[in-house]
Structure 1
């Protein structure tokens, strides 16, 4: 596996690892509301950047028809 340090000094690499650990800890302790907020933010960014194309809303009838289709 490739080295993640990318040529960083020992101190800078330790800072990156500490940052990774902080992000991991924040992710694992996030509430469902925080996770939904992160997801909404990621979706807004994806739509704004053009990574996702906007979709048209579907009607209640279309939604119900999708749920009743055999799988």
Structure 2
């Protein structure tokens, strides 16, 4: 099964179910999620609406990770 098909299925299912996806692929997270949590060493660093978190994160640690300066 391709990544694109899985993402299509998630998009269909999220209308009826809560789905938790764990990924290191930031592009995929941005494409398929409504909300995103950035976690580091088991602790939640930041949580918010995906579009806001990826465009204007509140925490420097989150910004460093999504821009590739850390991780």
TM-score after normalising by structure 1: 0.31
- Which is higher, the Rg of structure 1 or of structure 2? 1
As a proportion of its length, which structure holds more helix?
1
As a proportion of its length, which structure holds more strand?
2
Higher RCO, 1 vs 2 (CA within 8 Å, ≥6 residues apart): 2
TM-score after normalising by structure 2: 0.31
